[in-house]
A and B are shown apart, each in its own frame.
Chain A
Amino acid sequence: MADSPIIEARGLGTCFGQKKWVLRGLDLVVERGEVVALVGGSGSGKTTLLRHINGLMRPSEGSVRLFGQPLFSGDRLADRALRRRFGMLFQQGALFSALTVFQNVAFPMRELRLLDEDLIRDLVHLKLAQVELKASDAELMPSELSGGMIKRVGLARALALEPELLLLDEPTAGLDPDRSEAFVKLIKQLHAELGLTVVLVTHDLDTLAALAAHVAVLAERRILAYGPLDEIMQIDHPFINGFFGAQRSRIALERGRAVP
């Protein structure tokens, strides 16, 4: 069991409507403990791929296996158990607007119908502290939070059930550079502490560089290239040239500056 990859997508295809293929023949294998950044142009199907991985959408062709198990086994209990092994941070946070921050984070724990309230309270405060929120924020409603706080509460909720896999859809989009740097640091620290596997969608080169992650480039409806950042940047392809152009020149600039 320990050997099977965390995510294994084979021959994945998605077709919206009649003939609009968004993904086709996509293969992706993510091993335990990796941090994978999924990059791609706007509308290239990153969110769609994430929705296949987290089981919100059935692919039109191909299959996804998580932790070596199929996502849609047909067995309700098995499916539910599988879904509790990963946490998802949605692009807009998707916090339950009628619940407080505390209740949002406690929700998945309460859904287990197992832990007692005292323990849940301790755990929620632990999760909030992990994402660097104050205990006094726990009673706020989602509408009273700033953009960065929403993302952090969403992250705390995604971490509630001690997931082995964390899926993040544009975690730093819409945050100012300071905030997004802090958020990236947070993810990095959680990854180091908890040994999570992380898959994140991002447009942001700084995020990418800071996480020093594996990069999966989504273009032409499939994973065009997969590997460490340095290797990816060497590839000569119009999308990669365009996407990393600025980054390349900046690294070159920094190298130039480092030379005395």
Chain B
Amino acid sequence: MQPPRLSLSDEASAARVILSGTWTLAAISPCYARLSGELAAQNRGVDVGWDLDAIEHLDSVGASMLWRAWGGGFPADVALPDELRVVFERIRAAGQDGPVVRGRGWLDWLAGMGGLAEAFWRNLLGVLALLGRLVLDAGHLLRHPGDTPWREISANLYKAGARALPVTSLVAFLIGVVLSYLSALQLNRFGADVYIVNLLGIGIIRELGPVLVAVLVAGRSGSAMTAQLGVMRVTEEIDALATMGVSRSLRLVFPKVLALAIAMPLITAWTSAMALIGGMVAAQIQVDISYGFFIETLPKVVPVANVWIGLAKGLVFGFLIALLACHFGLQVKPNTESLSSNTTRSVVTAITVVILADAVFAIATRSIGID
């Protein structure tokens, strides 16, 4: 196999380019840059003749390079064996009309912002529509209780609820320890050690517990829900369900939202308890507050309203996380890129919305549960 070669001969008046060797991708690869440079140089001459008789093999890569050097047409003077002409005819038939590549404009950032605003608006409408669907589903279930997807609800309760307990308790316990340790150091300076119970009780039950659970559950169960629905979109399973007359909102979205709305207050209670235990252990070690005193004082200094606020937050956060996760899951376009970006979006949006909702809670309940 001869390497591709290009040589010049100008014995007579007209210059001729003589090509020889194997002009295939494999043979061209080692010397691509040199060859394309040499070909481009030939193009500057006015009327060069081309001699392709000595070419052994030509594939479409080699032919395309030559075609490009010829400026997209046969040169006037060319010696071309018939079997090679076929290859060029194929290129000619393919045409050269490429897709138009749009350049970047200096106002693109404005269009980008507009796009963001539009995406926000579209998602808001989408979530509202999904919410409406769920209300309709709930109405349907009231009239036809037999249609209730019990199995799905229970499966989701187990997956998003029970299976989340180990990780949330570990994280909560450790955070309780750290929080208690740091606060105890500060309170100790003022001789206000006993107030550690008030601080931890109100802080964890009312605020930290629900938000901590929401962040963990959004990352753990929210992403799983989005990915599951997204893959079902990619593999057309959702369409298959629809053709069987199974409502996707009733069978897929409703159980997830309901299960998480039920499970989250329970996980929240559990997590808050774990964090308090962590705090109690650290308080005993650090400032010598006995377990008995801690447990006895807690109900006295933390009004029970705080527990209800914490549980209500859990319910609302769970509902929001599942709703957003399902919304983004159903919006996945049938490709892998959209699947991954929507999963990210689902988690980030859920956490942001949870924190916004928490702020709303803080304002709405500012006069409740704090003496």
- A residues sitting closer than 8 Å to B (CB atoms) are 85, 96-98, 102, 112, 114-116, 118-119, 121-123, 125-130, 135, 138-139, 141-143, 161-162, 193-194
Contact = CB atoms under 8 A, between A and B. Distances in A.
A143 B335 contact: yes
Nearest to A85: B26
Contacts of A119: 36, 61, 64-65, 68
B25 A162 contact: yes
B336 A130 contact: no
A104 B234 CA distance: 18
Contacts of B68: 118-119, 122
A135 B97 contact: yes
Contacts of A138: 99
B337 A126 contact: no
Nearest to A114: B32
Given A123-B64, A193-B86, A98 B96 contact: no
Given A129-B93, A142-B335, A162-B25, A123 B234 contact: no
A142 B234 CA distance: 11
A128 B337 contact: no
Interface string B314-326: 0000000000000
A115 B32 contact: yes
B165 interface: no
A112 B91 contact: no
A188 to B, nearest CB: 16
B249 interface: no
Nearest to B36: A116
Binding site secondary structure of chain A: helix
A38 B32 CA distance: 38
A122 B24 contact: no
Contacts of A97: 234, 334-337
B95 A125 contact: yes
Interface in B57-97: 59-61, 64-65, 67-68, 86, 90-91, 93-97
Contacts of A126: 60, 64, 90-91, 94
Nearest to A126: B94
Contacts of A193: 86, 90
B148 interface: no
- Nearest 9 A/B pairs, CB to CB: A98-B337, A129-B94, A97-B335, A143-B334, A126-B94, A162-B59, A98-B335, A121-B98, A162-B25
A197 to B, nearest CB: 15
Nearest to A2: B1
B99 A122 contact: no
A254 B222 CA distance: 63
A65 B8 CA distance: 42
B13 interface: no
B60 A125 contact: no
A63 B27 CA distance: 28
Interface of B: 24-26, 29, 32, 36, 59-61, 64-65, 67-68, 86, 90-91, 93-99, 234, 333-338
A128 B336 CA distance: 24
Contacts of B335: 97-98, 141-143
Contact of B333 (A125, A139, A143): A143
A54 B36 CA distance: 32
A127 B25 CA distance: 14
Contacts of A121: 98
The residue in A127, A130, A142, A143 that gathers the most chain B C-beta atoms within 10 A of its C-beta is: A143
A35 to B, nearest CB: 19
Contacts of B26: 85, 162
The residue in A126, A127, A161 that gathers the most chain B C-beta atoms within 10 A of its C-beta is: A126
The residue in B29, B36, B61, B335 that gathers the most chain A C-beta atoms within 10 A of its C-beta is: B61
B90 A130 contact: yes
Contacts of B32: 114-115
A231 B123 CA distance: 64
Contact of B60 (A112, A114, A142, A162): A162
A175 B173 CA distance: 59
A76 to B, nearest CB: 17
A112 B29 CA distance: 9
Contacts of B96: 122, 125
Contact of B336 (A98, A102, A118): A98
Given A126-B64, A129-B94, 6 more contacts: A97-B334, A119-B68, A122-B64, A125-B97, A128-B94, A141-B333
A122 B90 contact: no
B89 to A, nearest CB: 11
Contacts of A135: 95, 97-99
Contacts of A85: 26
B336 A122 contact: no
Nearest to A129: B94
A140 B67 CA distance: 27
B85 to A, nearest CB: 12
A121 B100 CA distance: 11
A122 B93 CA distance: 12
Contact of A114 (B29, B98, B234, B333): B29
25 contacts: A97-B234, A97-B334, A97-B335, A115-B32, A115-B61, A119-B61, A119-B64, A122-B67, A123-B60, A123-B64, A125-B95, A125-B98, A128-B94, A129-B94, A129-B95, A135-B97, A135-B98, A135-B99, A138-B99, A139-B99, A143-B333, A143-B334, A143-B335, A162-B60, A162-B61
Contacts of A130: 90, 94
Contacts of A143: 333-335
Nearest to A96: B336
A100 B61 CA distance: 22
A116 B98 CA distance: 15
Given A118-B68, A141-B335, A125 B94 contact: yes
